[in-house]
Structure 1
Amino acid sequence: MEYLSSGKILIVDLAAGETREEELEDDLISKRIGGIGITTHLLGNYKDQDPIVMGCGLLTGTLYPASDLSIITAKSPVTKTVCHLPVALKAGIEFKYCGFDYLVILGKSANPSMLWIHDGVADLMDASAVWGKDVWQTTDAWRKEMGDDLIQTLVIGNCGERCSDLAQVSVNYWGSGDIWGFGSLFGEKRLKGIAMRGMGLLEVAEAEGFVDHSIKVLSALKQAPWGGKTGITDIVTAMGRQDVSDWMAPMVHRNSSSYNVPYPYSTFLYLDEDPALLKEPEGVEPGIMITSPYVAIAAKDSGMSASEAFKTIRSCLRYGIDPEAAMQISAAEGKKTRGEMEAALDSMSRKDTVGSRPPFSHYCPGHPLFADFGTGKDSGDFEEWWMRRQALAYLFGVDPMFMLMSPEISAQSMMEAVRLGTGVDISEETLNFLVTELCA
């Protein structure tokens, strides 16, 4: 594939300590589009070798609004089915800019290892120095070693090293949509994580037309009903939890957007500094970033003060454990203090806490946010709508949360962007077939 793509698949054999490249065939793109259309295909091709597959959409990292997404696809140890982890923030586009569209990780390393992907080069490196370190320490160590604070990491903490099904693959320092226990898969492979840095360029088939189309969609989004709203606080309010918004509001320092996403849905909370401080302090991060409304809700429902609850969340993020599930399990077991919850992290097990809609992560709500999609008000109507919107996001590389608030980002709009960007015409028949398959 010449446009919006590097045309390369990276194959990593951890047992052999080897990497190789394969060509991404145009015919596969015509049939499977991209994103999870192709990650599921590759997962099937290598199913006998315990694969973990990562990929991006054709629109990932482009000017098309909210095009921030890469995806990790694997068989979940929690559901025993194929599930998908959304990789957003800046990490989703960094993977694509590294010069690969897809990554297949096979086998198990004899010793702790890391994968360092940079500008079309992939290096398997020893990770013994960071094995046993937490998520934050590992990310800091790799950035210092490589001499670049912009390196993006997908990393496990101590929870993943002990192969708990509560373990997350964390994005840099923060939690992810990993409710599937993918962190334990990294741990089983002795893979501490993936570090990424790329400065690749994307060629566009009809550059002027693609830019015009993207600007047209962005202009329509400026009239959206979420205008004036921001952060997790307004999202939880839209979910009917104004109490959570009010409870956490005094700790909010700022809100942050994922790459090219018009709505800043990640919220920074200051725990060790005054949230009114405008300048970001130098040195150790004085707080945490919340990327899912359900984490905020679980913190509130723990019964602790906001300060104590979010300090507990910070411990979860460093440990690399699903913070929502950890808070829910602790509450169910009658743990009422931060000390009790933190002391239990090593022994915690999931105990059926996933209120899932496999194969897509429920880190974002199961209904429209702010906008009217014409879905009605029955929750049964939302389920089919939600699954389709998530499938489209994961196919094209568009942010899953933003898909819930933006009817302007339609299937037709994304198909047209792909046509202008690559010259490939995707038929509605092909798209509908894939969406049906992926939602089954």
Structure 2
Amino acid sequence: MKIILGNIAIIFMMVFVVPLKAQNRIWKRHIIDSCCSGADGVRIADINGDNLPDIATGWEEEGYTKIYLHPGKRNVKELWPALIVGKTPDVEDAFFADLDNDGATDVITITEGETKKIYINWSPTDPSNLMDIKQWESQVLPNSVGLMQWMFGIPIKIDSLHGIDFVVGAKNKGAEIGWFKAPKNPRELGQWTWNTISNATWVMSLISSDMDHDGDLDIVTSDRMAGKTNSVRWLENPGKGNKVDQKWKNHYIGAGGKEVMFMDLADLDKDGLEDAIVTQYTDQEIMYMRRLDTTGMKWESYSIDIPAKTGRAKAVKAGDINGDGKIDLVHSSNTQRDENRSGVYWLSYPKTPMDVVWEWHNISGPIGYKYDRIELLDVDRDGDLDVVTTEENYGQNSSGLGLFWFENPFNNR
């Protein structure tokens, strides 16, 4: 009996001690591309039909947009096949969408700075030609030129007429959130029209979601700087017809007057309602805005501490990191070159998502300085969520760590 009990105790320790070790160790970092300077943002889609996640990233300092094809599980820890699809000065964001309905996924690049243009990078229809630069065509969207400093965009079908449209937000003088309406022939770029749906200050995030459960997609945004619209809020899609061409009704969620950064939507408390989570710079905290009903009008806000051992708030993403069935938060930050701080880490709540202090777990360690937005996905196909992000300015005279992913240690097999 003692031998049996002893064996059970050993098994128990093996099952529970290993995850505890995994919880606090620095995750392995695998470089996808570190060729150049200023990797800024990461967007995901399967563009070649192999059921694996591919990536679009803008390289802001270098001034071009690149795509990356997932190389398969065997080679996923090596550099990924990559291609520059367009020369795009001042690129701030690049995302995927099939704009001309030809079955091939194009890349839309939006730019800020002095450029203030949106580029459409047309993809070849044959997936075998994706890595052939001669098969790509890059064009400027005429009605975007000089309009404002473009910051972030998402594809979304709004008017149900000709094809996929896309929503874009901007920053600084004259900033707005609006959508470019697809014409009958999407290749006639001069026919794409801009429709303002809201004023803005500095758009960090745009997320499409049916916030009022009326069957159409609304827009959720984190609007960063001081002004009337500064907050986390959602814009109500007015429905079909000409109404979508007008400004949309604004509904505040929370964080008014705070310098909000990147946000996410997730059902943190598992009550069947999608909540909002955002990092905010003003008080150096993560804000959990709990949704109270299906109308999208009632919310209550909770503060989650950002530990002193990490940097200034940047991005947050929700997902079950350790496989315990609870939603965790991954946070990226700006360490301001403090070698005693960790730039990327994850948090788990001890009792409920309303807890102020969550348990801190390292991911990056002290390496890195200016991290950006995060994607959580199973990069190596081992059953857990890995972290994909960029870092654009690591150390003095550095071009940054580039584009890479952190390997989740919980399901190593």
TM-score (norm 1): 0.27
Using CA pairs below 8 Å that are at least 6 residues apart, which structure has the higher relative contact order? 1
TM-score (norm 2): 0.28
Between Structure 1 and Structure 2, the one with more helix by share is 1
Between Structure 1 and Structure 2, the one with more strand by share is 2
Larger Rg: 2
